[in-house]
Structure 1
Amino acid sequence: MYKALQVSETGQLALVKKKIPTPSSDQVLIQVEACGICGADLSDISGENQFMRVPGHEVIGRIIALGENVPLIWTMGQRVGVGRLGGHCNACDQCRQGAFVHCTNQTYIGSNQDGGYAEFMLAKTTA
């Protein structure tokens, strides 16, 4: 189990315990060392329908577990940073044109994917 700050109601965070997740084939598990706060985080916390989500997307931490298909550039113990974009799909029109930031299947860390206001978090790897 690990501790996280999770949106409990509009504009409110609650300290909760969650089960440590296992990375999927293209993810890493990060032990969070620090996480910044920005306007997007405040929007996620005060937004409607964000309940039960862990905000935070300016994350620094170390990789402590690797999914089975993670590229070799990512290693155990490596210090990494995680931003707002949660990883592109490589399949939509925008990705096929190389415009990954415009991916139509993009997740957003702290908004529709748990973020770094926690002791651990998952992050997708892309090569």
Structure 2
Amino acid sequence: MKKIPTQQDLQAAVDTVRPIVHRTAVLQSRMLNDISGADIYFKCENFQRMGAFKMRGAVNAIAQLTEAERSKGVVTHSSGNFAQAVSLAAAELGVPAYIVMPSSAPEVKKTAVIGYGGKVSVSEPTLEAREAMAAKIQAETG
């Protein structure tokens, strides 16, 4: 059974990611509030480093690794935002990042991952192919 995060767990995650991620704005739209009859808040993660909230999770996950694990690197498969987040987070934490991207991923996403320091391997655009290539990289890198 999964552990439900405590307030202390959440605060620890905030403290971990704070030095690396941007604090993004929370905004409202008077028009949308009026239409909905509710107060709606927008967390503007499009202003986050690499452009998505996924940066927070990538930083926190990589930061939890031991030094021995970090030295071997991290591997994931993604066609876009998470690939970029892992690449940038890994670079910030001094960890090699191996990213499996499907051949159908947009070139702009592949270029961004490479620009953040990720080592891209291109696979066929099926879940099975992506997972197999990630497993192969994991076996090769430890």
Q: Structure 1 length normalisation: TM-score?
A: 0.23
**Where is the helix percentage greater, Structure 1 or Structure 2?**
2
Larger radius of gyration: 2
Which of the two has greater strand per residue?
A: 1
